[in-house]
Amino acid sequence: MNHDQLLADEARYCSFGDTVHYVNPPKIFSGCDGSYMFDAAGTPYLDLQMWYSAVNFGYKNKRLEEVMIRQLRELPQVASQYLHPTKIELAKWIAQDAKAKWGLDGRCHFNVGGAQAIEDSLKVVRNASNGKSLMFAFEGGYHGRTLGASSITSSYRYRRRFGHFGDRAQFIPFPYPFRRPKGMTAEEYAENIVADFRRKFENEYHAVWDPKTGQCEYAAFYVEPIQGTGGYVVPPANFFKGLKKVLDDHGVLLVVDEIQMGFWRTGKLWSVENFGVTPDVLVFAKALTNGLNALSGLWAREELINPKVFPPGSTHSTFASNPLGTALGLEVLKMTAEIDYGAKVRDSGAYFLEGLKDLQKRHPEIGDVDGLGLALRAEICTADGFTPNRELLDKMVDIGLSGTLEYKGQARGLVLDVGGYYKNVITFAPSLEITRPEIDEAMVLLDQLLRRAKRG
């Protein structure tokens, strides 16, 4: 079926509500390999977002595909009331890793998608707090679009059409260094936000704390250590230690969302490891299976999730802990444990960030570049280097997906993702296996893209 017919049929038969139509017309891809997607004409598109950081280890990763094929032949499916080896092995690996890092016993609980794992974590937290349903979360935070996840996602856009959310989180500012108040260092800015949050617990009239009983009305604080959809905002290094002290002092749980930043994206298995704090619950998904299978999960401290407090049937999904997914997840952990994978990612990220800084020197419209590992950002502004310029970035995305860029005499496309509070940030999540020549190509294409978009 030809391209035009496919688009016509999509317009007639497909829901537009399942996250598509960010560009017009929607892009149709026919193949992928390594760091590239391919259209029907065979044009390579260098993918710098890798399915929202789900394909951390490259498209068609041979080792992971072989594991999936082997599992498909041995035990492709089993009902979730039964056990299979890789579920147990995967849970053990993650729990033992947490024990080694944080000194805490815990357990793993599986589901099929990031938002579904967030829903499960809400059950864990509510159960542990005797039914408290209110949460803290961050402005700019994104945790999914199911009803429960939408209640702790700061954007009203995801709730507006679906009624009032009585359990909507109280949203706290996240430190955004590029847009911090004038006259403050980034560290002072972070300390100021923590101090303002601590003030909520000074007396009962700040609406969250009962000093007579020593109880908070809010059960947990949901955080992304680095904001994803919010624009890959990296907080100052001192921020989370200060925040965690307030939470621990008042019995509020810390739930860390690693759905987008987990599995080495930041040069650590979990991005929270960069900030020196210990989670009570940690949610993961996406790159666990390199995008080859829908599997997600959470780790929680033993006292929150042991069978006496969270018994069988507390949640359920027919496809949770499916053998294809758990076999892939186990292989991802084995594969990345064979070398110092974090060092590899940090080295590639430093090289990529230097390339972005060089671009910034040539294009004043790049107001800010930052990153941790291979989670990187470039904030697109007007020529003043600060005013958000969504229009320019939209043009860049469209040109990148047109497949009309050029590299070494060949046609190229560029796949970018847009994030940020003002939708003016390129959020870079390239393959963690990206090569130096591919990073060099990315810089050439980005330079070309900026020049074309600025010409209009």
pLDDT surpasses 80 at 79? yes
Give me the amino acid identity at 307: P
- Which of 338, 366, 385 is the last residue before a domain boundary? 338
CA dist 150 and 389 (Å) reads: 27
Confidence check: pLDDT of 241 > 90: yes
Whether the per-residue pLDDT at 230 is higher than 80: the answer is yes
- Whether residue 1 is predicted with pLDDT greater than 80 in this model: the reply is no
Instruction: Report the DSSP pairing between strands 106-111 and 296-301.
Output: antiparallel
Domain-located, residue 311: yes
Q: Give me the helix-helix angle, 62-74 and 323-337, nearest 10°.
A: 140
End residue of a domain, out of 338, 359, 389: 338
> What percent of the chain has pLDDT above 70?
100
CA–CA distance, 225 with 254 (Å, rounded to integer)? 11
| In-domain check, residue 236 | yes
Asked whether residue 140 falls in the same domain as residue 156, the answer is yes
On whether both 321 and 286 belong to a single domain, the answer is yes
Q: HEC profile for the chain?
A: CCHHHHHHHHHHHCCCCCCCCCCCCCCCCCEEEECEEECCCCCEEEECCHHHHCCCCCECCHHHHHHHHHHHHHCCCCCCCCCCHHHHHHHHHHHHHHHHHHCCCEEEEEECCHHHHHHHHHHHHHHHCCCCCEEEEECCCCCCCCHHHHHCCCCHHHCHHHCCCCCCCEEECCCCHHHCCCCCCHHHHHHHHHHHHHHCCCCHHHCCEECCCCEECEEEEEECCCCCCCCCCCCCCCHHHHHHHHHHHCCCEEEEECCCCCCCCCCCCCHHHHHCCCCCEEEECHHHHCCCCCCEEEEEEHHHHCCCCCCCCCCCCCCCCCHHHHHHHHHHHHHHHCCCHHHHHHHHHHHHHHHHHHHHHHCCCEEEEEEECCEEEEEEECCCCCCECHHHHHHHHHHHHHCCEEECCEEEEEECCEECCCCCEEEECCCCCCCHHHHHHHHHHHHHHHHHHHHC
- Measured over the CA atoms of residue 310, residue 313, residue 315 and residue 319, the dihedral's sign is positive
In angstroms, the CA 231 to CA 226 distance is 9
Domain count for the chain, please give it. Answer: 2
Range of the domain at 38: 3-60+340-454
Quote the tokens at residue 101.
């890092």
Q: Domain check: are 154 and 140 in the same one? A: yes
d(CA 308, CA 322): 24
281 belongs to a structural domain: yes
- Largest CA-CA distance found in the chain, in angstroms, rounded: 73
Q: Where residue 411 sits, what CATH number does that domain have?
A: 3.90.1150.10
Q: Do 237 and 192 belong to one domain?
A: yes
CATH number for 242: 3.40.640.10
Instruction: Please write the tens of the pLDDT for every residue from 369-417.
Output: 999 999 999 999 999 999 999 999 999 999 999 999 999 999 999 999 9
Same domain, 55 and 99: no
Asked if 374 and 271 sit in the same domain, the reply is no
Q: Is residue 164 scored above 90 in pLDDT?
A: no
Q: Do 294 and 188 share a domain, yes or no?
A: yes
Confidence of residue 132 (pLDDT cuts 50, 70, 90): very high
**Cα separation of 377 and 168, whole Å?**
29
Nearest one of 346, 427, 436, 342 to 140, comparing CA atoms: 427
pLDDT value of position 277: 98
- Express each pLDDT in 419-455 by its tens digit: 999 999 999 999 999 999 999 999 999 999 999 999 9
Model confidence, pTM: 0.97
Residues 52 and 83 grouped into a single domain:
no
Q: Is residue 70 included in any domain, yes or no?
A: no
In a domain, 139, yes or no: yes
Q: Which of 338, 362, 382 is the last residue of a domain?
A: 338
Angle 67-35-357 from CA coordinates, rounded to 5°: 135
Phi (first) and psi of residue 44, to 5 degrees: -80, 135
Query: 12 pLDDT band (50/70/90 cuts)?
Result: very high
Identify whether residues 56 and 124 lie together within a single domain: no
| Residues 46 and 147 grouped into a single domain | no
> Same domain, yes or no, for 309 and 347?
no
Task: With respect to residue 173, please indicate whether it lies within any of the assigned structural domains.
Answer: yes
Same domain, 327 and 384: no
Residue 66 in any domain: the answer is: no
Q: Is residue 424 part of a domain?
A: yes
Residue whose pair of structure tokens reads 């419209």 in the numeric block: 365
Mean pLDDT of the chain: 97
pLDDT bin (cut points 50, 70, 90) of residue 21 is confident
- Of 78-82, 211-215, 441-445, give the lowest mean pLDDT range: 78-82
In sequence order, the 6+-apart residues with CB closer than 8 A to the CB of 404 are 411, 413
How would residue 25 be classed by pLDDT, with cut points 50, 70 and 90? Answer: confident
